[in-house]
Chains A and B, each alone.
Chain A
């Protein structure tokens, strides 16, 4: 996994609540057996005016010019500002894959759905929870200032605006450690292999019906 330390980038809006993972990446693109290439279909039904098909080039498709991500001012955005309950619905990890592939490194919202939130950390994408009031303020500043950039510092756990105002955010110590260092958790978990085996041995004796049945 790629590491996340400090990023500074253009912020773009996704100004509605309950953005679901079907909206982030519609189901027809889930047929891919790869982890990459989802960026061109991020928010497909909002970005384009026609129905997207898997394995299709998006060049020449009719663009929805009313959708903010298509505005020139948000080109090259790497931070997405969003509203409450972002990423609800399906567990598809294709949602963070699509955001990452498009170029986003962080999503800032007042709240996230649990599974999406969790999936982000596995992909070097940082979801940041800030209060509704602060998020609202960031939205207003972003709309008012073309080229509005935010700086996210994971080590310091801060989001800083162009005027220098800084907002702190919370993050689990373990997740922070993994993101800062780009660590893959399978390797970390396997450091506890003896404990897993010990647990298994005990359960095999206590509850043998859990083992060797489905095969």
Chain B
């Protein structure tokens, strides 16, 4: 029978199927960070358990780490926030105690979990990958089954190497056609969320297929899969092709020699068969997608840069209408005001969505030889990992940002969720390349607008949103 990519990944990891529909799925790779793991390690200790397979786990601190060079200079002990310090220190202690490989705060391999996994080859095609973080689906770009889990499940996977799961339904998001110039993977995924809503993918494993994804780079696919959760789907994925194989080759933890050939032969099977059944199919024409800017407090509240802020008066559903009114109030926006009239106070380029080298290059391209608008208080560029940072510096991109008046930081999650010192002030608007525009997410009272790296960079220069396609 023809199978989807998800069906194949599921079948390949099925350890036990119960009559009641629940199953045990084997987990190949478990990525751990400081925020969602301490209680899991405590649970292991209390029950006198040890990790089932230590070599399946890779850890790195990312959510709490400071990003200024000054604060990073002294490693863990240099973290000023005492509560953050305890959390990062606790991860170090737990990894040391249980013998888990950890890229510690100033290790050159440290970075955001979802950037580090693929770039080191710790996450590979055909794997099951979990992490106590909802953006784990990023790894699905490799043709793997990757999704976020809660802390109890972090403990469960450590103790048993398995997850109790129930098979999800299959959804195909098919985007064909050619993307216009200046339209990026971030715009594609925001347009998908605009179309299906933040709950559109609930209960589904979401495969991204069609010409647009076949022609997309691996890093672009990661940006798209990263935000599957913002469309409600725990797992997003793209079938393995030559782009996948080329990306993985030579990475630190990727197989080498004869094993490489053997692995590639297995990985090439991780595609949906012709005629495989999807429970839901959504089709979008790639040529219709324009640069996107979110205006509200949910990722589905997003329109193109050419549009105006929507008017709640035109919404029939009363619950939705109230949400829109509340969102406009929180965001300090008027219905029908042009998106390009929204001024930005801060700019954040980074996060597990958009902090890879291609993102950094795209932003640098826009700001090259220009100056940040005086009205923009701060614009920070936070590379996703030590490796991204080193690559960007080797290309001289850091100098381009600094010359344009932007700040070049140390790797971490930073202002995406503002657990460290990087945050918005109340009422401030931010052009952000992150993934969530929830109330307070980037700082108490902060107002987030989700955009691509190029659009964020252009906003930093103009001081308000502009269409990067016509920005001179």
CA distance A76 to B395 in the complex (A): 60
Q: Is the CB of A172 within 8 A of B166?
A: yes
Q: Please tell me if A140 contacts chain B, counting CB pairs below 8 Å.
A: no
Known: A114-B202, A186-B159. A214 touches B24 (CB 8 A): no
CB distance from B35 to the nearest CB of A (A): 5
CA distance A92 to B245 in the complex (A): 33
Known: A31-B84, A45-B439, A214-B101. A16 touches B319 (CB 8 A): yes
Known: A16-B323, A91-B133, A172-B22. A30 touches B419 (CB 8 A): yes
Q: Please tell me which one of the listed residues B58, B90, B326 contacts residue A33 in the complex, with CB atoms under 8 A apart.
A: B90
Binds B, one of A67-75, A159-167, A195-203: A195-203
Known: A91-B36, A195-B16, A214-B55. A190 touches B298 (CB 8 A): no
User: Which among B42, B133, B160 has the highest number of chain A CB atoms within 10 Å?
Assistant: B160
Known: A30-B35, A190-B160, A207-B263. A122 touches B153 (CB 8 A): yes
Known: A172-B166, A173-B20, A214-B122. A91 touches B149 (CB 8 A): yes
Q: Is the CB of A174 within 8 A of B164?
A: yes
Known: A31-B419, A174-B164. A115 touches B87 (CB 8 A): no
User: Which among A55, A119, A213 has the highest number of chain B CB atoms within 10 Å?
Assistant: A213
Residue of B nearest to A206 (CB): B266
CA distance A177 to B164 in the complex (A): 14
Beta-carbon contacts of B398-422 to A below 8 Å, as 1s and 0s? 0000000000000000000111000
Beta-carbon contacts of A170-196 to B below 8 Å, as 1s and 0s? 001111010000000110111011011
Q: Please tell me which one of the listed residues A30, A34, A209 contacts residue B259 in the complex, with CB atoms under 8 A apart.
A: A209
Beta-carbon contacts of B230-259 to A below 8 Å, as 1s and 0s? 001110000000000000000001110001
Q: Is the CB of B159 within 8 A of A172?
A: no
Binds B, one of A58-66, A81-89, A145-153: A81-89
Q: Is the CB of A18 within 8 A of B418?
A: no
- The tally of residues in A whose CB lies under 8 Å from a CB in B reads 65
Q: Please tell me if B156 contacts chain A, counting CB pairs below 8 Å.
A: yes
CA distance A192 to B444 in the complex (A): 46
Binds B, one of A5-13, A21-29, A99-107: A21-29
Q: Is the CB of B22 within 8 A of A93?
A: no
User: Which residues on B sit within 8 Å (CB–CB) of A54?
Assistant: 83
Q: Is the CB of B155 within 8 A of A174?
A: no
Q: Please tell me if B64 contacts chain A, counting CB pairs below 8 Å.
A: yes
CA distance A6 to B56 in the complex (A): 40
CB distance from A212 to the nearest CB of B (A): 5
Q: Please tell me if A17 contacts chain B, counting CB pairs below 8 Å.
A: yes
CB distance from B135 to the nearest CB of A (A): 9
Known: A20-B436, A45-B444, A214-B55. A115 touches B150 (CB 8 A): yes
CA distance A119 to B83 in the complex (A): 25
User: Which residues on B sit within 8 Å (CB–CB) of A22?
Assistant: 417, 436, 438-441
Q: Please tell me which one of the listed residues B54, B199, B444 contacts residue A113 in the complex, with CB atoms under 8 A apart.
A: B199
CB distance from A166 to the nearest CB of B (A): 24
Q: Which range holds the interface residue count of chain B? A: 35 or more
CA distance A190 to B16 in the complex (A): 12
Q: Is the CB of B199 within 8 A of A85?
A: yes
Q: Is the CB of A26 within 8 A of B440?
A: yes
Q: Is the CB of B151 within 8 A of A174?
A: no
Beta-carbon contacts of B112-155 to A below 8 Å, as 1s and 0s? 00000000001010110000111000000000000111111101
Beta-carbon contacts of B73-104 to A below 8 Å, as 1s and 0s? 00000000101101100100000000001000
User: Which residues on A sit within 8 Å (CB–CB) of B133?
Assistant: 90-91
Known: A89-B436, A91-B36, A174-B21. A189 touches B83 (CB 8 A): no
Q: Please tell me which one of the listed residues B18, B28, B198 contacts residue A18 in the complex, with CB atoms under 8 A apart.
A: B198
CB distance from A189 to the nearest CB of B (A): 4
Q: Is the CB of B15 within 8 A of A195?
A: yes
User: Which residues on B sit within 8 Å (CB–CB) of A199?
Assistant: 15, 26
User: Which residues on B sit within 8 Å (CB–CB) of A158?
Assistant: none
8 A–B pairs (Cβ distance < 8 Å), ordered by A: A18-B198, A20-B438, A22-B438, A31-B86, A54-B83, A88-B232, A193-B160, A213-B55
Top 10 A-B residue pairs of the complex, sorted by shortest distance between their CB atoms: A122-B152, A209-B255, A119-B150, A33-B38, A93-B150, A91-B148, A173-B20, A85-B199, A91-B134, A174-B22
Contact surface of B with A, Cβ cutoff 8 Å = 15-16, 18, 20-22, 24, 26, 28-29, 35-36, 38-39, 42, 47, 49, 52-58, 63-64, 81, 83-84, 86-87, 90, 101, 122, 124, 126-127, 132-134, 147-153, 155-156, 159-162, 164, 166, 198-199, 202-203, 229, 232-234, 253-255, 259, 262-263, 266, 298, 300, 319-320, 322-323, 326, 417-419, 436, 438-441, 444-445
Given contacts A175-B22, A196-B24, A211-B53, 17 further A-B contacts (CB under 8 A): A18-B199, A18-B323, A22-B417, A22-B439, A23-B439, A27-B419, A83-B319, A85-B232, A114-B234, A122-B150, A123-B152, A177-B20, A189-B162, A200-B26, A209-B259, A214-B29, A214-B58
Contact surface of A with B, Cβ cutoff 8 Å = 16-18, 20, 22-23, 26-28, 30-35, 45, 51, 54-55, 83-85, 88-93, 96, 111-115, 118-119, 122-123, 172-175, 177, 185-186, 188-190, 192-193, 195-196, 199-200, 203, 206-215
